[in-house]
Amino acid sequence: MKAHIELPPNTSPKLFTPRVIPFAYIEQVKEEITRKVDKGILQRVDTSLWAAPIVPVQKPNGKIRICGDFKVTINPSTLVDQHPIPAIDELFSRLLNGQHFSKLDLSDAYLQVELDDTSKDLVVINTPLGLYKYNRMPFGISSAPAIFQRLIDQVILDIPHRIAYLDDLLLTGSTEDEHLQTLDTVLRKLADYGFTCNPDKCVFFQNSVSYLSFRITKHGKEPDSARVDAITRMPPPKNIKELKAFIGEINYYDCQVTFERLREEISSTTTLVHFDDKLPILLATDASQYGIGAVIMHRYSDDVEKTIVFASKTLTGVEFHQYLAGRSFQLITDHRPLISIFNPAKGIPTTTANRLQRWAIFLMWYKYDIYFKPTEHHANADALSRLPIPDDQTFIDTDSLNVNLIHYEHSETWPLTPSTIAKATSIDVILKRVKQFVQSSWPHSFSKKQHPELVPYFNTRVSLSIKNNCILKGDQVVIPAKLQFQVLRLLHKDHLGIVKMKQTARSSCWWPAINLDLKQITQSCTLCRKFQSLPKPQYHSWEEPKEVWSRIHLDFAGPLWNSKWLIIVDAKSKYPFVIDMHNNTTAGNLIQALEQVFDFVGPPETLVSDNGPPFTVK
C-alpha cells in the first residue's frame, strides 16, 4: 500500500533555498542524509519544483535529526485526508469480554509507509548536499495521521478483538486461546504489509494496560489517575507568588476557599468531561522556573470551556498525541513570542533555541491555530506550572537539565556571578523594559527615532529569554551597562587581539555595541598596538595564460562522501579533473593520480599548489 498526498489543482510550487546550518552540525547532517539514503528513505534528485528547507535538531544523545519544514511548502495547500480518527468510546466497545490485554507499538510508524511517485515529488528537501526526495512518508506532513489511520484500518480489517489508534494497537480475547489467535493474526498481517513493531514498547497478556489515558481491565475502562495527578498532588503555596498562582486556578474554575477542599474539588473526576471528537479542542500551556503546566479542554456552543485532562510535569507527548492527532485544535499561550516561533504558517526561525526548534518540528504533526491569551486570563495552566508536582520521576525534562547544567558550569567559572548580573539587570533602565517585553509581549514595531536603545533588542527578540533573572540572547548573557566595562577588561586582559576577543565574547556575553567597544579598547591599548599583526599582504590575480594546459591549479577537497578529492583546474579553459583519492593523500598516491592525468593530456608548463606536504615531499 502506498500513501498519496493530494493538493488542489494549479497549486503553485514553492522552492526554498537551504537554510544556513551551524558549522558544528554540518558533518552530522551529512552523515544522517547518507544514512537515510542507504536505507532507501531519501533519494537524490537533480531538479524539483518543490523543496522545503531542513531544520537540524540535536537529540539528547548528541545525534542530529533532520526534518523538512513542510509547513512552509505543501502543508498550507494540502487537502487533508478526511479518514476519521476513531472515537475513543467506539474503540473500547470492541474490547467486550476481554480478559487480558496486549499492546503493540509500531516503530517509526510513518516512515514504514511508502509514498506514491506523485507524492514523492512533493516532499523534497533542500540540503547542503543538494536536493533529496522522501520515498517514505516523512515527519511533519499534515495529512500523515489520517493517512496512517486509513492504512492501519485496512491492515487489521475483519480481525476481531483488536483496536488501533494510529500506531498503537490493543488486542484481547475472551479466552487465552482466542487472545493468542488474535495476536498471531495481527502480527502476521503486519508482517505481510511490511510493518515492524518496537519490542521495547510492546506488552503482552496484561491484566490492565494504560491506553488513550484510560486504564483498561476486564471490568471496563476507568480514567487514568495521572489525568488529575497534577491537581491532587499540587503542593501548598509557600510564598506570595505561588499563592497568587493558586488563587488564579481557583478563580478560573470558580471553586471554594480552603486549600484542601479546593484542591480536591478541582481534581474531582466530576469536573473532567469526556473527550468528544465533535467539539473544538483547546490546549492551554504555560511554563515557569518551577515547572510546566497544561490543560486540554473542550469549548462548548455557549463558549464555556471544560477540562478533559490536567498536566503538571507528568503528561507525556504520547498522551497529548492521542487527544490531538488528526484533529484541528487551538494552542493557547501567554507568551507572545511563541506566536511567531510556533506559527503553522511561518517557517521555523533559525535563531531560536534548540529545544524550541524541536518543539516547533514536533508540532508540524498537527493541524492547529495558535492564539495569545494574557496571563491574567490564563490562570488554569499558569497555576499548574508554578505549583508542579514535587519529585515526579515520570517526567524528566532532559533539555532543561542539560541547559541548567551548562549554565551552572559556566557560572562557576565566571568572575561575574549570575546574581551580580541579575542585580545589575534589575536596576538597568533599558534592560528592565526588555525584561518586561520578554515576559509579556513585544509590540509589533519600534520607532528608531523614539526608542533607538530598544531596537537592537527588538531585532533579536526571538532569541531572548530569562534565566535566573538574567536576560539571555541564545546562550549569551546580556550584560547590563553598569558591568560592561568590567566585562571588557576581562576579555582584554590577555591582549588576544580583536578577533580572539570577539570569538570569546560570542560564547558567553552580548550587548548591542559590544563589537564597537572591543575595537575601541584594542585601539586604545599601547601593548595591543605594539604587537598588532602585520599589514595584510596585497594579493593580485594570476594572469590568464596564452595556451590551454600551460598552467594548472590543484588542491584537495573534502572529506566529502567519506573521501578526499583531488581537484585539478586548467587556468585557461577552466576545464576540471576530479579524482577520488579514497582518503589517501600521500605523495605516492598523488603522483599516481597526476600520472594518469598527464598520460591523457600531457604535462603542463606550470603547476600551482598550496605547497602542502604531499606536493613538497622529496
Q: Tell me, yes or no, if the pTM score tops 0.85.
A: no
Angle 230-171-318 from CA coordinates, rounded to 5°: 30
The whole-number pLDDT of residue 42 equals: 93
The pLDDT score that the predictor gives to residue 261 is 57
Decide: helix, strand or coil at residue 561: coil
Residues 588, 590: Cα–Cα separation, whole Å: 5
Q: What pLDDT, on a 0 to 100 scale, did the predictor assign at position 120?
A: 94
Give the whole-number percent of the chain exceeding pLDDT 90.
15
What is the CATH architecture assignment of 431-531?
Orthogonal Bundle (1.10)
Q: Are 333 and 372 in contact (CB under 8 A)?
A: yes
Residue 296: strand pairing partners: 283, 309
CB-based contact 91:83 (threshold 8 Å): no
Residue 291 · residue 243 · CB < 8 Å: no
Decide: 364 and 71 in contact? Cβ < 8 Å.
Answer: yes
Which of 4-8, 285-289, 612-616 comes out lowest in average pLDDT?
Answer: 285-289
CA angle 590, 591, 593 (to 5 degrees): 65
C-alpha cell at position 27: 558533518
Q: Averaged over 148-170, what is the pLDDT? A: 87
Contact 593, 580 (CB under 8 A): no
Cis peptide leading into residue 559 (ω within 30°): yes
Q: Does residue 413 carry a pLDDT above 70? A: no
3-state secondary structure of 616: helix
Burial (CB < 10 A; 0-12, 13-18, 19+), residue 436, is: exposed
Residue corresponding to grid cell 587556468: 571
> What is the CB-side half-sphere exposure of residue 215 using CA atoms within 13 A?
9
At residue 585, what is the residue type? Answer: T
Helix, strand, coil % in the chain, rounded to nearest 5: 40, 20, 40
**Neighbour count for residue 273 (Cβ, 10 Å):** 15
**Nearest Cα to Cα of residue 147 among 3, 302, 300:** 3
Q: Residue ranges of the alpha helices (H) in 460-507?
A: 481-492, 498-506
* Alpha-carbon separation of residue 501 from 406, 413, 505 (angstroms): 21, 17, 6
Q: What digits encode the pLDDT tens for the residues 524-549?
A: 887 776 656 555 666 777 888 888 88
For 330, the 3-state DSSP assignment is strand
Domains 23-223 and 431-531 share a fold: no
Domain coordinates in residue numbering, the chain: 23-223, 225-267, 281-386, 431-531, 551-615
User: What is the CATH code for 23-223?
Assistant: 3.30.70.270
Cell 491574567 belongs to: 376
In the CATH scheme, what is the code of domain 551-615?
A: 3.30.420.10
C-alpha cell at 283: 490546549
Distance CA 235, CA 232 (A): 9
Q: Using one digit for the tens of pLDDT, what is the confidence trace for 250-290?
A: 555 544 444 555 555 555 543 466 567 678 888 877 766 55
For 42-58, the pLDDT digits (tens) are: 999 999 999 999 888 77
What's the pLDDT at 403? 44
Residue type, 607: L
